[in-house]
Amino acid sequence: MKLRTTLLLAAIGGGLFAYIWFVDRHQSSTTEETQTSAKVLKLERDKITSLSVRNAGMPLELRKKDGVWTMEQPFEDRGESAAIEQLLSLVDGLKHESKIDLTPGKEADQLKEFGVAESELSIKLKTDSGKETELLVGKDSAVEGKIYVRQQGQNRVYVVRNNLRTQLTKKTDDFRDHRLSATPAQSVQKFAVKTAEGEIELERKNQHWNILKPLRARAADAKINDLLAGLLTANVSQFFPEAPSPEQNLTEPRATVTVQVEGSKDPVVLQVGATPAGEENKEKTFAKISTRKAVTVVPNKPLDALLKARPNDLRDRKLVRFESDIVDRITIEPAGKPPLVLARKGEAWVRKDGEKETPVKDGLAAKLLADLQTAEAVNFVADLATNLGQYGLASPALKIRLSSYASENTAETKAGEKAIVTLLFGNIEGESGYAKLEDEPYVVAAAKSLFESLPTDVLALLPVPAPENLLELNADSISTLAILPKDAPPSLLEKKDAVWKLAHAAPGNLDLETLKKIESLLGLLQGGRVTDTSAETILAENLKTPVLTVKVSHTKDAKEENLILTLGLPTKTGDYPATLSGKQGIFLLSAATAEPLFAKILR
């Protein structure tokens, strides 16, 4: 019973599916046929290579070659692809509201009645195979907003919307490319700007722009590219016959821009002339570019942005230009100090001292490279510095060399270190300091903050040492404290029966409440042990000038013990070196650890 029911349901489902499939397929086909039958023309849109419009005797001839439209009549010029494609889309998708089949024997009269016998307005399309299709546009129909059209050679008239006539009666200039030039800015390899004030010449090399005249300097890549793009794509508002007239002032132009394009032997020359007459044209100018015959009118803004720029306006303000991912070595040479060498090792960086490698602070090398990459000149000091001594650059206070490194010989490079760029840092004056690249002739000023951020000794490279408790004191075991600040009177304090007394203190220096807080701070004091011998040498110099000495007497394991904690001058990074009697080595105390102690003592 169940099997019979299942088979019956399956048969019903199959029949329903077949019916739906047949009906839907038939309906879809009917819809497509209806849409197709409503079209006036059947075109091979992608094969159209020629388009001509006849409009009251004014011929418009456009031809497509290698995907680019060119106007051949009434002028030779570049075509406006967007306008042409819009027209083609309209013609290709043209649908009729109704169609009229002509009465045999009365065709001539009816064609004349509808205005499509020999129309003054028509469009002819030709494919690459030579097939021609012409559409004649006639009179307005009885229905407002509709017109009559006929395909040449057919005895059928269609009623369509009049937007076709609107498109076909556009001005010839609407089908001309309104960009001043079709030259892509990225293809320009060299260009020069000549005005009454002088000449500026630039060249692109290895994707970077450089100024060649009137000085040799790096140029600002993004700015140059933007200026070029703005100039070449300036919007043309008017076209004039190709022979320049005197009022255009193009025979003796006020400016000439010569552009050398990659792969082209002949340069593109732009001549910039006078301002056209009329108040509405006061922000425009005549211009003639060698790649098209017409004289054009373009806005002043994109032209003036380049023509009025001074050499320093176009210079790269970046202190240095390099790719950080190819830097494998950073050599820091402070004057009078041993050089510091940072080397890339896998994904990390280490300090190299001969064959010895030691870790450096996380992110230090990446930050240094980023700081150098983003640093900018606040002023261009000298374009050709002949006396580097006056800037402190003959014997610079700091030299930083960036290099790549290859461990083995390859086809592209030899093994060993290859310098990329070397930076020199000189005197600081006010809020800026002098700097230059070793292989460039000019001197710039950079922000003082950059100079102060550059590492100049091994202390700046050290990773943060693991902290440990220094005094390991039980507050109850402390019996006396001697506090010897550098800039305040000393204090001697005693504790008897858990009560502190001021055995000797300068008036107003310490009170008992403050002393209890000092006692607590000493018990929590932490510092990291320095293990780098070079760093210990530097810190030992800082400890020669103690800023705070604390002598503690306490009881440990039933024995009286004396401890002396000494803090030296803070380092450039703000840390305090410290020594503790009974413990070997030098410790570093962070400012966050040491300064609360100072604050209580020197309150």
Does residue 74 have a cis bond before it (omega within 30 degrees)? yes
In a domain, 180, yes or no: no
3-state SS track over 80-131: CHHHHHHHHHHHHCCECCEEEECCCCCHHHHHHHHCCCCCCEEEEEEECCCC
298 and 353 belong to one structural domain: no
Structural domain including 513 reads 467-601
At which of 267, 292, 314 does a domain end? Answer: 314
Distance CA 156, CA 102 (A): 6
Report residue 506 as tokens.
């300068």
Dmax of the chain from CA atoms?
Answer: 137
Closest Cα to residue 435, out of 401, 387, 399, 460? 399
The domain total for the chain is 5
d(CA 159, CA 299): 43
Rounded CA separation 363/370 (Å) = 10
Token pair listed for 520: 């607590």
The CATH number covering residue 583 comes to: 2.60.40
| Separation between Cα atoms, residue 299 and residue 302, nearest integer Å | 7
Among residues 582, 584, 578, 586, the alpha carbon closest in space to that of 547 is found at 578
Classified as helix, coil or strand, 190 is strand
Residue 416 and residue 500 share a domain: no
User: Is 320 within a domain?
Assistant: no
- Count of Cβ atoms closer than 10 Å to residue 189 Cβ: 15
Whole-angstrom distance, CA of residue 546 vs CA of residue 598: 13
Q: Cis before residue 596, ω within 30 degrees of 0?
A: no
* 373 and 409 share one domain: yes
Q: How far apart are CA 535 and CA 229, in angstroms?
A: 54
391 shares its domain with 491 = no
Q: What is the dihedral of CA 138, 139, 145, 149, to 10 degrees?
A: -20
Q: Which of 146, 175, 204 is the last residue of a domain?
A: 175
Is residue 72 located within the same domain as residue 114? yes
pLDDT at res. 12: 55
Amino acid at 349: W
| Consecutive H or E run containing 319 | none
Q: Are residues 339 and 377 in the same domain?
A: yes
252: left (phi over 0), alpha (psi -120 to 50) or beta: beta
Question: Which tens digit of pLDDT belongs to each residue from 422-447?
Answer: 999 999 999 999 999 999 999 999 99
Which CATH number covers residue 244? Answer: 3.30.1490
Residue 18 lies in a domain: yes
Contact of 18 with 10, CB cutoff 8 Å = no
What single-letter DSSP state applies at residue 40? S
Same domain assignment for residues 376 and 419? yes
Which amino acid, 44? E
Is 462 part of any domain? Answer: no
Backbone φ and ψ of 478, nearest 5°: -75, 130
Write out the two tokens for 381: 């000091």
356 C-beta neighbours (distance < 10 Å), count: 8
In a domain, 509, yes or no: yes
8 A C-beta contact, residue 188 and residue 261: yes
Inside any domain, residue 273: yes
Whether 292 maps to a domain, the answer reads yes
Q: Which residues does the chain have with pLDDT short of 50?
A: 1, 18-35
The beta-strand segments (E) located in 371-489 are 377-382, 398-406, 416-429, 432-437, 443-447, 467-469, 478-485
Secondary structure percentages of the chain, helix, strand, coil, to 5: 30, 40, 35
Distance CA 59, CA 228 (A): 35
Statement to judge: residues 26 and 140 lie in one domain: no
451 contacts 457 by C-beta, under 8 angstroms = no
Alpha-carbon distance of 12 to 19, in angstroms, equals 11
Residues 433 and 336 in one domain: yes
* Residues 204 and 162 grouped into a single domain: no
Pair 170, 218 in one domain? no
| Mode of pairing for the β-strands spanning 526-529 and 548-556 | unpaired
pLDDT of residue 226: 95
Same domain, residue pair 221 and 279: yes
Cα–Cα dist 290/292, whole Å: 6
Q: Kindly report the three-state secondary structure assignment for every residue of 261-308.
A: ECCCCCCEEEEECCCCCCHHHCCEEEEEECCCCCEEEEEHHHHHHHHC
Q: Which of these, 468, 478, 475, 474, lies nearest to 583 by C-alpha position?
A: 468
DSSP 234: P
Spatial distance between the Cα atoms of 454 and 372, rounded to a whole number of angstroms: 9
Q: Considering the domain boundaries, does residue 595 fall inside one?
A: yes
